[in-house]
Homo-oligomer: A and B are copies of this chain.
């Protein structure tokens, strides 16, 4: 019964946050008709393709946990969503994961062609920094710090490193440490950065920032382990993308290395660590806790 009440609250919370983030993204981006229209249509096609806005929600909830407010955290929330969307567009390309569908819709290169898809990704990546510096800087975290935070999480040692390692692991035996390296970078890096940026826009204390770092890291890793599990256990229709792709591509996943049950246990352990990290925030962590529950119990 308490679980149902909880789920209901989170659904409302996420709906409200998603609407706020979508309005802000619409405001920050050039209009679809802005010349050249192709690129702006392509940017908006992927950005408004029904993404769950988990990263922006994490930014906003982290800010609130540190007594911050939504308007001050919105630019950072929109910036991480632009980075996330660009990375999906490029990851889906034929020379990368070669995916035709994403969230139940044809991927960018299927609609606009490869050249425009690459450029739409480039444009969203660039736009992220333009949006981020529209955040109001706080005493502890000037623009310089915010930009470094996002650039490092998205750069060649984190997000991009994960995609490279993922590409290079195809058709090769992958160990659990190698798989963890990939997941830490492909998924944890940006989720961790989202939580940290949220805290920064609320001028969080160093202790709060450490707590958010641990929360973001563990929830990110758990999220990816669950993604691996869902690829094995769910249908394409349910996922809104091609299921069983990892198996078909003989891609290393947590289930393929340690089995399904052990994978579920690992995901639960990681989430427990994420919850433990939230202790310093006490009641103010309600939204972050709800998000963590949502990420662990999702089925798509």
Measured CB to CB, the residues of A under 8 A from B are 30, 34-36, 38-40, 43, 86, 90, 93, 95-96, 113-116, 118-119, 121-123, 125-127, 129-130, 132-133, 137, 142-144, 147-148, 150-152, 154-157, 160-161, 163-165, 167-168
Contacts and interface: CB of A to CB of B under 8 A. Distances in A.
Contact of A163 (B119, B130, B144): B119
A36 to B, nearest CB: 4
B90 A119 contact: yes
A113 B133 CA distance: 34
A148 B34 CA distance: 19
Contact of A165 (B36, B95, B156): B36
A43 B155 CA distance: 12
A168 B38 CA distance: 9
A122 to B, nearest CB: 6
Contact of A167 (B115, B137, B150, B167): B115
A114 to B, nearest CB: 4
A115 B130 contact: no
Contact of A143 (B122, B144, B160): B144
Copies assembled? 2
Contacts of A161: 35-36, 39
22 contacts: A36-B164, A36-B165, A36-B168, A39-B161, A40-B156, A90-B118, A93-B118, A95-B115, A96-B115, A115-B167, A116-B164, A119-B164, A119-B167, A121-B122, A122-B160, A123-B156, A125-B126, A126-B151, A126-B155, A126-B156, A129-B129, A143-B143
Contacts of A130: 147-148, 151-152, 155
Contacts of A121: 122
Contacts of A150: 129
Contacts of A34: 156-157
A129 B40 CA distance: 22
A156 B95 contact: no
Given A142-B143, A147-B147, A39 B116 contact: no
Given A34-B156, A95-B114, A143-B147, 5 more contacts: A36-B165, A93-B118, A129-B151, A130-B147, A143-B144
Given A133-B148, A151-B130, A155-B130, A160 B95 contact: no
Contacts of A143: 133, 142-144, 147
A5 to B, nearest CB: 42
Contacts of A167: 115-116, 119
